[in-house]
Structure 1
Amino acid sequence: MNDEERYKIIDNNYADLLIDERIINDIQTIYTDASFNRINQRYSIAYIPAEDLSSNIIYSFGYEIIPKCYGLMSITGYESLERAQLNYTPDIDYTGEGVLVGFIDTGIDYMNPAFQYEDNSSRIVSIWDQTIESENEYPEGFYYGTEYRREQIDTALRNSNPLSIVPSIDEIGHGTRLAGIAGGSYNSDNGFIGVSPNVEFAVVKLKPAKAYLKDFFFIPEDALCYQENDIMLGINYLVQIARELKRPIAICLGLGSSQGAHHGDGIFNNFLSDMGNQIGISFIVAAGNEGAMGRHYFGEITPTIGYNDVELNIGNEIGFFMEFWGNGPNLFSVDIFSPTGEFIGRVPTFLVQRTTIQFEYINTILNVDNTLSESSLGDQFILFRFRNPQSGTWRFRVYGVGDILSSFHIWLPINDWISQDTYFVDSNPYTTITAPGNEATVLTVTAYDSESLNLYYNASKGFTKNNRPKPDIAAPGVNILAPIINNQYAWSTGTSVAAAYTTGIVAMLFEWGIIRENYPSISSAKIRIMLASGAYRFPDILYPNPDWGFGILDFNNSIIVARRE
C-alpha cells in the first residue's frame, strides 16, 4: 500500500478481501490491479474492483476471504436516572493508574467531562477517526482516516469551538457509553463514576462498512455495520499506541457478529490469539445479545429417520442471509419448500466441489453457496442469500449422509439487520456467542442484573460449536449508568455494557500486575484464567456453565487466587 493507492481503502468502488499471505500471488494473478495493505506477517487486506466481486470468490478462495460484518451489542434508555444502578467498584485502592483502555467503536465524545481531568485537560491520549479523510494526518502505516493526539484534543478543549480543531464526534453514543463505564471521571450531579477512574483512553472510531458488502449480505442501508478488517487495523493501532507509551492496554470490543462457524477459528480469531498471548495486552469481548432472539437452530439427524425439518418464519424482508454449518465429517443436502409447500429446489450433497445455485420462486431469488470450510474440522458450509423472500413459514428438510448421528447449526443475522418477525419456529438459545467471543484467549463477558442476580434476558449463550466453554465470566450489564452524547447520562443494558465494566476491572489487574510489579508477565490469556478462577459461583449451578461461564466477576478473589499461585 502507498499514498497513490490508499484511496481504494475508502472508495466504495473497491471491495476488501481478507487474505492469507500465502495466496497473495493467486490474488494478483486474477486481479491484476489489486492493492495490498498488510495487517501482520500472516494476513493482509486486498482491494479489488467491487464489480469483480461475486459469489465465485467463495468458490475460488473460501468464505473467510470476505470480511464479516459487525454490529453493536447494547441498548440505551432515556428514562429517569433513578432507575439506573450506580457503577459498583471493589473496595480497594486500585483505579487503573498508569493503564490504557482502548475502544474500537462509534468514537467518543471527547468534550464530555467524563473524559477530562479536574483541570479540564483530556484523559484521551489519541483518537483515530477512520471516517475523517486527510492528506497526511492518518496514523503512520494505516493510510486512511485522521489521528488526533492529546495535544490537539487539549487545544480543542480550550477553544470556543472545539470541533473546528478536532472534528471527531460520536453520533451514536455507543463508544462514549462504554468508555465512560470503564473509566469515566466522577460526576457528582449524576452520582456517576467509572470502574477505573484513573485510566487513560485510546480510541478508534470505525468507518461504516462499504455499501457493496452490505448489499452482498442484504444488510439494510441504514443499519449500523462495521467491517472485520477495519476492526483488526484498529487493534493494531491501539497496540501501537500502548507500545509507544510503554503502557499495558485493556481493549474492549463491544461489537459482535453471528457470522462464522462459532468455534473460534478463522483469520480474525487467529489474529486475536497471536495478540492475546503478548504481555500487557488484554481483549475483553461482549458475548452478544442473541440468546432469546430465535435466530439459531440446532438439529440432529438419526440414521433411522434420515432428515430434520427446519421451519423458518420470514417476516417482511427485502433480503437477508443465513449460514448453515454442518458438523464434520458428516455431509448434508437440503430440500427447500416455500410457504405454500411448493418444492423450490435441492442443495445437493457433495464432497470436493464448491457450487453456487440460484433458485427463483415468484419474486424470490435465493442464492446458495455450498462448500467445505477451511478449518481443520472440515465442516460443510452453506450460505443462503434471500432477495425479496415471500413472507411466511419456509421449510428446509436437511438430510444427513451415512449411518451415524449427524448434527448441524443454522444462524441468522444479528439484531437490527432483520426484523423480529424472522425467526426459527423451534429455535435454540445456545451456541449463540457472537464473534469474536468464541476465540479461546479473549475474555468473553456475558451480562447479569446485579440487583436481581438474574442473567440478562437476551444474553447470548455458549458453549462454542466445538464445545469449548464460553462465555468466560458474567459482569453487571443491566441498567448501568453511563455518559452518552451531549453531556447526558442514561441507563444502558447489554453484553457490551458488561464488557466495558469488565474492561475497567482488567485495567485494575494491569495496575496490580504490571504497574505495581506483582505479576509483570500478565497477558490476555492469563487474565482470562485469573478472572475465571476467582469468579463467584452459585452452589447449585454446574460450572463451566453455558449461561454464566465460570461465574460472576470477583476482582478481590481473583487477586487472592493469583497471589496463591
Structure 2
Amino acid sequence: MENKFNSEKFMDLIIPNALLNVVENQGTITNINDSYSIVHIPIDKIDFCNFNGFSYSYFPTCYTLDSTVALEKIGFVKVRNNPNLSLYGAGVLVGVVDSGVNYQHKAFLFKDNTTKINSIWDQTIYNENTPVNEEFPYGTFYSREDINRALALKNPLDAVPSTDENGHGTAIAGIIVGNEDTGNEFSGVAPLSELIVVKLKQAKKVVRQFFAVSQEVTCYQKSDIMMGIKYIINVARRLNRPLVLCIAMGSSQGGDDGLDPLSYYLNDISRAPRSCVVVSGGNEGNRSRHYLGSFGKGDEFKEFEFKVGEKDKAFFMEIWMQPIQRLSFEITSPAGEKISSVYPGIRQIKKYNFIFGPTKLCINNITTEAESGDQLILLRFNNTQSGVWKIRLNNIDRTPSDFNVWLPSGELITNETFFLQSNPYLTITAPGNAFAPITIGAYDTLEGGIATFSSKGYTRKDVIKPDLTAPGTFITSPSNKEGYVTVSGTGSAAALTTGVVALLLEWAILRGNYTGITGSEIKTFLIRGARRELNVDYPNRTWGYGQIDLFGTFEKLTL
C-alpha cells in the first residue's frame, strides 16, 4: 500500500479534530493529538490557487533551520561546580526534532562507549523488512539497543544507516548533551541527559510547489514536525521521565500570531507537568524581510517596494491586516506592468501571467482567515522577474490601522530579495510566537550586544517575545563528520537554553524539589533569574526579559 506521508500524490493537511466529520470522506486520517489530525488529500482534488475551500492555516507550512567560550555566560558552570547543586542533567530526556544526528560522534557516547541516545526516528529511511507502525507509518525506528549493536561493528552505518547530512541537528544535540572535551574546549550543558532524536524528511515537492518554494533548498513541513513531536512525547511518557523539547527552526508563514496548530500543540506541552519546550526566535533581524505599514485616519492607500534577486524565481509573500481593515491590492512589475485592484472576498482568487516578463502570480485576497479572523493577502510568485516591484494597498474603509508584510524566512530565498524600507521588529518566526514555550533570542558571545541576526518582537498580537536571550555566536559544537565546528544562530542559543532547562528539571524532579513543575513555571523561574542592565527597560522587543542566568535563577528561587 502506498505510504501517503511520502507520496507526492497527497497533500498532508493539518485539520482540527472537530472538523474531521466534514473531510473524512476526502482522504485518509492520521491522528496527531486530541486537537489535530493529518488528512491526506489526493492532490487531484486540490486546486493549488483556490485551496478548494480549505483554510490556509491547514496547509503544512515550510520551516528552515535556525543556526549556522558560551557556557560561562549562561551561569551553568557555577551551578555545576557548586557542591550543593552539581547538576549534569541526569535522568532527563531531551527531544530534538531536526536534521538528524551523527550518533557515532564521541560527544554522544558514555564512558563505556554506549550511546546516550534513547532512540532515533529517521523519517527518511524506508525499510521493507520493518513492520509498519500504524501510529507512525513512515520512516524507520532505532532503539538504544540497535545503536549500541551498530557501534560495536566495524562500520556502524551497515546496521543503523541514519546520518545527518546537514550537520545542524548534530550541532544542536551536542550543545545540549555533548560530553566534555577539554582538549577542544567543549562541553554540552547537560552531558548526562539522554536524547530522543527525530530526523525530519524534506518537505514534499507538492508542498514546495503549493507555497512556491524552490525544490533545491532545505526545508521541512509542519505536519512532519508535529508527528516528530508526537513520537518524542510518546517515548517520554512510556519511560515516565521528564522531558525538554528543543525546536531550533522557524517559519515566517502564518501571520506572527501564535495561532497555528503547531503553536497550540507546543502550548499544551509547555503547560503540562514534567515537560518544557524551548524554541529559537529566528534569524530574521537583519534580513529586511518584514515591512510594517500604517494607515492614518482617512488615508486612501500605501505603497511599498521590494527587490527580487536573480536567483529567487519562486517565493511567497504574506500581507496580514487587522480585523477592522479591508484592503484591495495592486502590484507593478519591474517592467512597469500593473495588475489592477484585487478586492477581498471569502475566496477571492486571481491568477496572472505577466505579458512583459515571465512571471506567474497567484493572488489570494482572503477577507477572513480561519484561525485569526484577519484579512490575508497571499502572493505566490513563480519564474519571477528580478528587479524592484511595487505594491499598492488601498484602504477601502479609510480605517486607521497597521498592516504587516513578510517574505520567506531562512534559506528559502537569498539575501538579494528584500523590502527597500524594511522594519526589523515583528520578525520572530513560528513557532517562536507561540505563547507558552520559552522563545530565545541570541546575543554576541564575545561582545555581549544583541546578535545582528536575532529576530525581534513582539508578535503581531503584542505577546512579549523573545522571552529571553542566550549566547548565539561562535558556539563550539560536534560536527556531523569528525571533530568540532563553530555555529551561530538563535538555534544555538535555544540549544544552550535547552541544556539549562534539563539541569532545572534534574533539580526539580529527579532530586524531589518540585516534582510537578511545568514548562510555564520553568519559564517564570528563568525570567526572574535573568541578568538585566540597570539602564534598560524590560521586557523589550530585543532582549525580552533579559539574559539567561541559571545561577541567578537558583539565587532567586524560593519555594
User: Which range, TM-score by smaller chain?
Assistant: over 0.9
Greater displacement, 54-63 / 189-198: 54-63
2:222 to 215, 228, 232: 228
Match of 1:348 among 326, 343, 352: 343
Separation in structure 2 between the aligned mates of residue 28 and residue 242 of structure 1, nearest angstrom: 31
| Residue of structure 2 equivalent to 1:168 | 162
Deviation at residue 542 of structure 1 after TM alignment: 1.1
- Match of 1:48, SS state, is strand
Q: Residue 453 of structure 2 aligns with which residue? A: 458
Superposition pairs of residues 298-317 of structure 1, within 5 angstroms: 298-316=292-310, 317=312
Structure 2 CA distance for partners of 1:377 and 1:85, relative to 1, 3 Å: closer
**After alignment, is 391-400 or 436-445 more displaced?**
391-400
Pick from 518, 530, 536: which aligns with 1:535?
530
Residues 71 and 189, structure 2, Cα contact 8 Å, conserved in 1: no
Q: Report 1:58-207 matches (<5 A).
A: 58=51, 60-75=53-68, 89-92=76-79, 93-135=86-128, 136-137=130-131, 141-207=135-201
Preserved CA contact (<8 Å) 2:96 2:169: yes
Deviations 1:210-230 (A, max 9, x none): 011111222121211101011
Indicate the residue corresponding to 1:381 in structure 2. Answer: 376
Tell me how far apart the structure 2 counterparts of residues 376 and 121 of structure 1 sit (CA, whole Å).
Answer: 46
Query: Alpha-carbon deviations, 1:221-253, whole Å to 9, x = none?
Result: 121110101111111111111111111111100
What is the match of residue 426 of structure 1?
A: 421
Q: Name which of structure 1's ranges 533-542 and 176-185 shifts more when overlaid on structure 2.
A: 533-542
- Aligned partners of 1:462 and 1:293: how far apart in 2? 15
Supply the AA of the counterpart residue of 1:379: D
Q: 2 CA distance for matches of 1:237 and 1:328?
A: 37
Task: Tell me: CA distance 1:560–1:374, structure 2 relative to 1, closer, same or farther (3 Å).
Answer: farther
Q: Deviations over 1:264-305 (max 9, x none)?
A: 112111111222211111110000000110100010011333
* Mapping 1:422-501, distance limit 5 Å: 422-501=417-496
Shift, 1:419, TM fit: 2.1
Matched, 1:10 2:6: yes
Candidates 237, 241, 251, aligned match of 1:243 = 237
Q: Does the alignment pair 1:294 with 2:292?
A: no
AA aligned opposite 2:360? I
Between 306-315 and 492-501, the greater mean CA deviation after superposition: 306-315
Amino acid at match of 1:97: A
Q: Is the 8 A contact 2:469 2:493 kept in 1?
A: yes
In structure 2, the residue matched to 1:558 is 553
The aligned counterpart of 1:79 is none
1:108 touches 1:175 (CA, 8 Å); kept in 2? Answer: yes
**Whole-Å Cα distance in 2 between the matches of residues 377 and 181 of structure 1?**
36
Aligned pairs, number:
547
Structure-2 change in CA distance of 1:126 and 1:137 (3 Å): farther
Residue number in structure 1 paired with 2:83: none
Structure 1 contact 301–399 (Cα < 8 Å) conserved: no
Q: Provide closer, same or farther for how the CA distance between residues 464 and 522 of structure 1 changes in structure 2, counting only shifts above 3 A.
A: same
1:413 to 395, 408, 429: 408
Letter paired with 1:410:
V
Partner of 2:20: 24
Alpha-carbon distance in 2 for matches of 1:35, 1:98: 39
Give the aligned partner of residue 514 of structure 2.
519
1:78 corresponds in structure 2 to none
Partner of 1:542, secondary structure, is coil
Structure 2 residue matching 1:416: 3-state secondary structure: helix
Q: What 5-or-longer segments of structure 1 have no aligned partner?
A: 76-83
Q: Is the 8 A contact 1:345 1:359 kept in 2?
A: no
Q: Secondary structure at the match of 1:241?
A: helix
Rounded Cα–Cα distance in structure 2 between residues aligned with 1:173 and 1:219: 22
Please give the alpha-carbon distance, in whole angstroms, between the structure 1 residues aligned to 2:179 and 2:474. Answer: 19
Identity of counterpart residues, as a percentage?
40
Cα distance in structure 2, aligned partners of 1:347 and 1:336: 10
Question: How far is 1:345 from its partner?
Answer: 2.1
Relative to structure 1, the CA distance from residue 35 to residue 501 in structure 2 (aligned partners, 3 Å threshold; closer, same or farther) is: same
| 1:367/1:384 contact within 8 Å kept | yes
8 Å Cα contact 2:425-2:456 kept in structure 1:
yes
Q: Does 1:336 align with 2:323?
A: no
How far apart are residue 497 of structure 1 and its match? 0.2
3-state DSSP of counterpart to 2:412: coil
User: 1:530–1:168: structure 2 CA closer, same or farther, 3 Å change rule?
Assistant: same
CA distance in 1 between partners of 2:32 and 2:401 (Å): 38
Match of 2:203 in 1: 209
Cα distance change, pair 87–207 in 1 and its aligned pair in 2 (3 A): farther
2: distance between equivalents of 1:25 and 1:454?
52
- 1:467-494 residue CA offsets vs partner (Å, 9 max, x unmatched): 1100001001111111011122011100
Alpha carbons 2:10, 2:40 under 8 Å: kept? yes
Corresponding residue of 2:82: none
Q: 1:55: Cα distance to partner?
A: 3.3
Gaps of 5+ in 2: 80-85
Deviations 1:282-330 (A, max 9, x none): 1100000001101000100113332111111112222211011011121
Q: Which residue of 2 aligns with 1:394?
A: 389
CA distance in 2, matches of 1:87, 1:531: 16
Q: Is the 8 A contact 1:328 1:378 kept in 2?
A: yes
- Report the 3-state secondary structure (helix = DSSP H, G, I; strand = E; otherwise coil) of the residue aligned with 1:90: helix
Given that residues 299 and 400 in structure 2 are in contact (C-alpha distance below 8 angstroms), is that contact kept between their aligned partners in structure 1? no
**Which secondary structure state, in structure 2, belongs to the residue aligned with residue 189 of structure 1?**
helix
Counterpart contact for 2:57–2:371, Cα < 8 Å: no
Question: Against the structure 1 CA distance between its residues 39 and 377, is the aligned structure 2 distance closer, same or farther, given a 3 Å change threshold?
Answer: closer
Please tell me the residue identity of whatever aligns with 1:284. V
